[in-house]
Structures are given as structure tokens and as C-alpha cells.
């Protein structure tokens, strides 16, 4: 099963399933009630250093993706990634992200990686 992707600023929907925030920082200006997050999985988010380096510059996307995948392969990240994979296998999951760019964000990388693992 492939997770759905959604900006956290969009309202929750009945078919979202388990809503998992995959950002390291809480989204600005959004209350926890409005976000309706079931799980905030910071351990699968890009590191602060990688997030700052990328800074949503599309020209850096390929290198960001490679560096992010390398981070996710680190032993301390594998357990969190396994937890996310188990959630996706169990039922509908929506990966929530705060980025304005719906194509170039960490949720896309996570969804692709989960699909490869399945």
C-alpha cells in the first residue's frame, strides 16, 4: 500500500486514515487540534542540517533526495522507518508535510522509499 501525501495546512478528510506528520518542526500557525495529527514521527524527517541546506531549492532536489535517503539508512533511523512502513501496511496512511512545494518535499521521498520496500 502507498501512503497518501497532503499538506498539513489542508483540512483533515475522513479518508486520510492515520495522519502522520513527517516534519522535524511543528508547522507555523497551526494548532494541534486543527492539524489532527495521529503521530508526529520526527525521526523520519530530514535532519536540521539537511533541511537548512536544501531550503526548498528545486535545483538541489536530486542531491537532497540522495542525502535524505542516506540519512534514513542510518541505524538510528531504521526503527522509525520500520514503524512507518508497518502503519502503511496496516491501512490507509497520510503523510503530512508543511512545505509549499507539493512535488519537492521529504514526504515524496518517504513515499517512494516505502513503495520500494513493499
DSSP assignment of 56-95, as one string? Answer: T-GGGHHHHHHHHHHHHTSHHHHHHHHHHHHHHHHS-EEE
At residue 1, does pLDDT exceed 90?
no
DSSP class of residue 104? Answer: S
Distance CA 73, CA 66 (A): 11
Q: pLDDT grade, residue 118 (50/70/90)?
A: confident
Q: How far is CA 77 from CA 35, 41, 44, 92, in A?
A: 24, 11, 7, 22
At 66, phi and psi to the nearest 5? -65, -45
Mean pLDDT of 27-31: 94
The whole-number pLDDT of residue 116 equals 92
pTM of the model: 0.94
Residue-wise pLDDT tens digits, 58-101: 999 999 999 999 999 999 899 999 999 999 999 999 999 999 99
Q: pLDDT grade, residue 48 (50/70/90)?
A: very high
Whole-number CA gyration radius for the chain: 13
Query: What is the residue-averaged pLDDT of the chain?
Result: 95
Amino acid at each position: 500500500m502507498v501512503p497518501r501525501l497532503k499538506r498539513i495546512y489542508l483540512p483533515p478528510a475522513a479518508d486520510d486514515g492515520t495522519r502522520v506528520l513527517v516534519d522535524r518542526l511543528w508547522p507555523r500557525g497551526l494548532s494541534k487540534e486543527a492539524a489532527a495529527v495521529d503521530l508526529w514521527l520526527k525521526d523520519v524527517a530530514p535532519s536540521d542540517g539537511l533541511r537548512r541546506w536544501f531550503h526548498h531549492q528545486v535545483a538541489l532536489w536530486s542531491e537532497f533526495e540522495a542525502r535524505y535517503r542516506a540519512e534514513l539508512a542510518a541505524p538510528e533511523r531504521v526503527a522509525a522507518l520500520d514503524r512507518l512502513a508497518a502503519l502503511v501496511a496496516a491501512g490507509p496512511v497520510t503523510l503530512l508535510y508543511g512545505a509549499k512545494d507539493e512535488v519537492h518535499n521529504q514526504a515524496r521521498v518517504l513515499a517512494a522509499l516505502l513503495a520500494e520496500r513493499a
